[in-house]
Structure 1
Amino acid sequence: MHGASRIIVPDIDAWSLFMPYVLPDRVYTAAQVRELDARLIAAGTPGIELMQRAAEALWQVVQQRWPHQRQMTVLCGGGNNAGDGYLLAKLALQAGWQVVVWAVADPQTLQGDAASALQAARADGVDIQRWHGQALLAGVLVDALLGTGLSGEVRGDYVDAIAQINAASGPVLSVDLPSGLDADRGVTLGCAVIADLTVTFIGLKLGLLTGEGPDYSGELLFAALADGEAADPSFERLSMARWAKTLPVRKQAAHKGHFGHLLIVGGGQGMGGAIMLAAEAALCSGAGKISVATRPEHVAPLLSRCPELMVRGIDGVAQLQGLLEQADALVIGPGLGRDSWAQALLDAALEWQGPRVLDADALNLLAERAAPVTLGADTVISPHPAEAARLLAWDNARVQSDRPAALARLVDLLGCSVILKGAGSLVASTDAALPAVCTDGNPGMAVGGMGDVLSGLLGALLAQRIPAARAARYAVLVHALAGESAASGGQVGMRASDMFIPIKALLNQREAE
């Protein structure tokens, strides 16, 4: 997962519409972006003007990121992305750069604004040549091949062109979308350009943010191109600008009862670390009281590490019932295991009425049931792709091939809030809130225990009476941002326990404002 990088732009309102800047919070499907584009044109902004603004945005990026290259190779296809590429080539040539355009699609087949852009580039003397397998790719490589209209696998000369871009040594800039990447699902359509940087236009596309999207798009920047009428998005991009005030400021007269009693259940034989991570994360996340129900052998290590916990060693359901009666919220799953002890505890947790989190082995046990269980709006589940596949009776590849569809199906099947973890984690719930995508976090978080930390954080928010749908979104955001903070010393070697201090700091941002 890649966070957005900010480019400083001139303090000129007119330029702010088409200079690359921070990512917006509204996320659209490819069809919606095409509709937004059509609306802008219908409202009076000519299509060729939008292309010119796109080229200006791209040129600003090139000058700021690679000012000393002085050489550019643009690969153009047969759609509007090609028009952006031709106009960018014209700008670079006017600035004295050495420029060549390789036309992978016959330029004579271009229509409308793209054809006008081609004519403008030709009129200025841009060197435009037909693509062939021995084409030389030098300097900054601009991918203006394929856009959001691609529906099937990449074919023909485009396959060879993409392969040569990926094998070249120069920096790669993709126009709107890396060619070959599905704009809605974040999967490659046979093959795709691996960009160092992508500038996307009009509306932010979900496929850039989840699944394989971040690995192919590289650093991602956004340029609106015009100030058009806002349309209803398909997803929300999670950001602290909206979610920082999820936890209310604590009153001076507050006591621990105001912040809930969280019960965490797990830690089967040989798996005490998972329950320990979840419990300590909950301690850092503001729950008033935390009880842990676990195997008796884990009691002493838990109390030794965290004396603030109330730890109970249990052998079966009878000992769990009293703890459930006292709880305001429940987490079950970290290190739970899949034996009869674990199954009996899960059965009790499913009968309990209240806000709860199901994760890890609780989900694996749930998947083994003969029929789906309706969990309810107060429940949050947080599967990784393999756990989601088990719940859906799909394979892992099917989940990853359409993460938005898998998310929606899980919500429909189980009737709860769902966090589909992974690069560009997705969140959805049974209420009317938009599904959400998280663009923060980093690959250093791909280590054991990170999911247990998220479960503890989620449980603590539920204990503090944050509604499940809201808690799911806020927890995912805080968890990802904590990962960014924890990676400040490097991604390699990160530990799940590195998250505790950043989580506490992030949850206290509201009070610091």
Structure 2
Amino acid sequence: MKPLPLAVHTAAQVRALDRHAIDDLHIPSYTLMTQAGEGAVVALRSCWPSKQRIAVVCGPGNNGGDGYVLARVARSMRIDVTVISLGDPAKLQGDARRAHDDFVAAGGVVQGWSEDCLAKAEVIVDAIFGTGLSRPLEPSMIERINAINECGVPILSLDIPSGLDADTGRVWGAAIMAERTISFIGLKLGFYLGEGPNYTGIVLYDDLDLPPGATDFVPPSALRIDEHTLAQLLPRRRRTTHKGQQGSVLVIGGGIGMAGAARMAGEAALRAGAGLVTVATWRENVASITASRPELMCRGVEGAGDLSSLLERSDVIAVGPGLGQSEWARALLDVALESDKPTVIDADALNLLAQAPCSNSKWILTPHPGEAGRLLGISTADVQSDRLQAARDIAARYGGTVVLKGAGTLVVTGDSLPYICDQGNPGMASPGMGDVLTGVIAGIAAQTADLPGAARAGVLVHAMAGDMAARRGERGLLATDLFGYLPTCVNPAQRF
């Protein structure tokens, strides 16, 4: 299959690309449908080469038409194909009708839905609904989608899992849980937002052989964070470099009983390549942090006045891991923000900021959905229902760069295109992962003047390290398991 593009589009933008191909490039619409069906067969054979019995479930529109093309081509390859129509084929129109008729003319048989229509299938192709779905499904359709999901065989979705909103990742009552999704012409926002990551499986891509540059005709709504951009932000170091040239990070956090959070953030900053890292923490935490990671400098601070000299010597501040919300915590946060140095804000520092909102162009805010809700005064569910808008609203209200954590982490800076991280795994939903991310971002920020770039790079590096650590299994993954993989990820010049 083709490599995934960086651009991510809304459903309307993909339709505009489709119209551009038809109207301006003069590619017949049925040619595009044929390319989609043929590309889907290639994906099918590549993913499941030994499977010989497939069921293609076709809907009433062009997505169903793609399915009919796939079925016709698969039959020509002597694959046992069962085609199930979830609508009346006589009501098909345009290219979908032509695809159906070509399938029948080639000897194919279309049957209606029945309780045992999928019984013999080794793979199911979902060609029910495309990107235009924007309404709740009828109960009968929900029942059929649930039945498909319960078959226990791999599912290939054409263009998008049926039932998933292409723009928000909302599920319209039920959605196909695909093992693979092959996306045509453009990647869809809904793959990465809301519930999308739970349903798309591994995303494949086919540009339908459009001419080079054709998909640039419509500007995207977001960009994927690409590994190769790390080499630009984190070039190979000169032989004569020294630690003083790699930036100094001050981690402020670790209130009573929370030494671990600050310690993890500090080590993460070191692992990300910062030259010097100091942890300013509750006095009783100093011994344990120093003993467990002697490369960290550690200072006990009783109040804001103890931070002055530490702030002067730092290039980047990371505040929040294990900070708490006490008067001590508030005082430390206030003096950190007064320093006007690049600052990564996380955890309780975000909760304190929500209580006294202000704006700053030189910080990176890293909320999870609950913290994002508090920053905006809305519920976590409201944040998750439209993650992209929530991230934009935080950036508009608070300034700087916003990293909205979760599956499909978003990085938003002002009016610039948002970025999406499509790496990472469910095992990273464990204590301390956010503290490690804070440290990684701060460590990279110490090495570059590009704060938004550091946020994007930090998110990607963190996700890549998480995926490497999860090779042993996702369940039971610890935040500290990432430490051994971070140096590999922040040395891209040695990898590519």
Please report the TM-score for the alignment, with normalisation by the length of structure 1: 0.92
Question: Aligned to 1:46, which of 21, 25, 28?
Answer: 28
Task: Please give the alpha-carbon distance, in whole angstroms, between the structure 2 residues aligned to 1:156 and 1:78.
Answer: 17
1:410 aligns with 2:410: no
Task: Please give the alpha-carbon distance, in whole angstroms, between the structure 2 residues aligned to 1:366 and 1:93.
Answer: 61
Contact 1:104 1:161 survives alignment (8 Å): no
Contact 1:210 1:437 survives alignment (8 Å): no
Q: 2:385 — aligned with what?
A: 401
Q: How does 1:88-487 map to 2 (within 5 A)?
A: 88-132=70-114, 135-139=117-121, 140-228=123-211, 229=214, 230=216, 231-369=218-356, 372-376=357-361, 378-430=362-414, 432=416, 434-487=417-470
Q: Cα 1:512–1:74, aligned 2, differ >3 Å: closer, same or farther?
A: closer
1:505 aligns with 2:493: no
- Offset of 1:391 from its aligned partner? 0.8
1:33 aligns with 2:33: no
Letter in 2 for 1:361: D
Task: Please give the alpha-carbon distance, in whole angstroms, between the structure 1 residues aligned to 2:481 and 2:114.
Answer: 51
Task: Please give the alpha-carbon distance, in whole angstroms, between the structure 2 residues aligned to 1:353 and 1:329.
Answer: 10
RMSD of aligned Cα (Å): 1.6
Question: Aligned to 1:79, which of 61, 66, 73?
Answer: 61
SS of residue paired to 2:269: helix
Letter in 2 for 1:375: N
Task: Please give the alpha-carbon distance, in whole angstroms, between the structure 2 residues aligned to 1:405 and 1:501.
Answer: 35
Task: Please give the alpha-carbon distance, in whole angstroms, between the structure 1 residues aligned to 2:321 and 2:53.
Answer: 54
- Offset of 1:64 from its aligned partner? 2.7
- Offset of 1:503 from its aligned partner? 1.0
Give a deviation string over 1:407-427, Cα, whole Å, max 9, x none.
Answer: 111111111101111111111
SS of residue paired to 1:394: coil
Task: Please give the alpha-carbon distance, in whole angstroms, between the structure 1 residues aligned to 2:414 and 2:79.
Answer: 54
Please report the TM-score for the alignment, with normalisation by the length of structure 2: 0.95
Letter in 2 for 1:287: A
Task: Please give the alpha-carbon distance, in whole angstroms, between the structure 2 residues aligned to 1:169 and 1:490.
Answer: 22
Task: Please give the alpha-carbon distance, in whole angstroms, between the structure 2 residues aligned to 1:439 and 1:45.
Answer: 32
Contact 1:78 1:107 survives alignment (8 Å): yes
Task: Please give the alpha-carbon distance, in whole angstroms, between the structure 2 residues aligned to 1:264 and 1:185.
Answer: 35
Q: How does 1:57-68 map to 2 (within 5 A)?
A: 57-68=39-50
- Offset of 1:132 from its aligned partner? 4.8
Task: Please give the alpha-carbon distance, in whole angstroms, between the structure 2 residues aligned to 1:494 and 1:281.
Answer: 16
1:24 aligns with 2:11: no
Task: Please give the alpha-carbon distance, in whole angstroms, between the structure 2 residues aligned to 1:62 and 1:507.
Answer: 35
Task: Please give the alpha-carbon distance, in whole angstroms, between the structure 2 residues aligned to 1:38 and 1:315.
Answer: 64
Answer with 299-308 or 244-253: which moved more.
Answer: 244-253
Task: Please give the alpha-carbon distance, in whole angstroms, between the structure 1 residues aligned to 2:43 and 2:374.
Answer: 44
- Offset of 1:207 from its aligned partner? 1.1
Task: Please give the alpha-carbon distance, in whole angstroms, between the structure 1 residues aligned to 2:126 and 2:223.
Answer: 27
Contact 1:261 1:290 survives alignment (8 Å): yes
SS of residue paired to 2:49: coil
- Offset of 1:501 from its aligned partner? 2.3
Task: Please give the alpha-carbon distance, in whole angstroms, between the structure 2 residues aligned to 1:307 and 1:440.
Answer: 32
- Offset of 1:256 from its aligned partner? 2.5
- Offset of 1:69 from its aligned partner? 3.0
SS of residue paired to 2:233: coil
- Offset of 1:136 from its aligned partner? 4.1
Letter in 1 for 2:378: W
Task: Please give the alpha-carbon distance, in whole angstroms, between the structure 1 residues aligned to 2:258 and 2:342.
Answer: 25
Unaligned stretches of 5+ residues in structure 1: 1-19
Task: Please give the alpha-carbon distance, in whole angstroms, between the structure 2 residues aligned to 1:91 and 1:153.
Answer: 32
Give a deviation string over 1:221-254, Cα, whole Å, max 9, x none.
Answer: 1111022421321111112122322123323333
Letter in 2 for 1:374: S
- Offset of 1:274 from its aligned partner? 0.3
Letter in 2 for 1:392: L
SS of residue paired to 1:245: helix
Letter in 1 for 2:391: L
Task: Please give the alpha-carbon distance, in whole angstroms, between the structure 2 residues aligned to 1:39 and 1:409.
Answer: 32
Task: Please give the alpha-carbon distance, in whole angstroms, between the structure 1 residues aligned to 2:88 and 2:139.
Answer: 13
Letter in 2 for 1:34: R
Contact 1:133 1:160 survives alignment (8 Å): no
Letter in 2 for 1:480: A
- Offset of 1:126 from its aligned partner? 1.5
Task: Please give the alpha-carbon distance, in whole angstroms, between the structure 2 residues aligned to 1:63 and 1:260.
Answer: 50
Contact 2:235 2:492 survives alignment (8 Å): no
Task: Please give the alpha-carbon distance, in whole angstroms, between the structure 1 residues aligned to 2:34 and 2:66.
Answer: 7
Give a deviation string over 1:16-70, Cα, whole Å, max 9, x none.
Answer: xxxx333111111111011111111121211111111111111112223333332
Contact 2:2 2:207 survives alignment (8 Å): no
Task: Please give the alpha-carbon distance, in whole angstroms, between the structure 2 residues aligned to 1:135 and 1:417.
Answer: 51
Q: Cα 1:512–1:63, aligned 2, differ >3 Å: closer, same or farther?
A: closer
- Offset of 1:200 from its aligned partner? 0.9
- Offset of 1:134 from its aligned partner? 6.0
Task: Please give the alpha-carbon distance, in whole angstroms, between the structure 1 residues aligned to 2:457 and 2:49.
Answer: 39
Contact 2:391 2:402 survives alignment (8 Å): yes
Task: Please give the alpha-carbon distance, in whole angstroms, between the structure 2 residues aligned to 1:245 and 1:136.
Answer: 50
Give a deviation string over 1:430-463, Cα, whole Å, max 9, x none.
Answer: 263x211111111121111111111111111222
SS of residue paired to 1:344: helix
Unaligned stretches of 5+ residues in structure 2: none
Task: Please give the alpha-carbon distance, in whole angstroms, between the structure 2 residues aligned to 1:291 and 1:431.
Answer: 34
Task: Please give the alpha-carbon distance, in whole angstroms, between the structure 1 residues aligned to 2:383 and 2:495.
Answer: 40
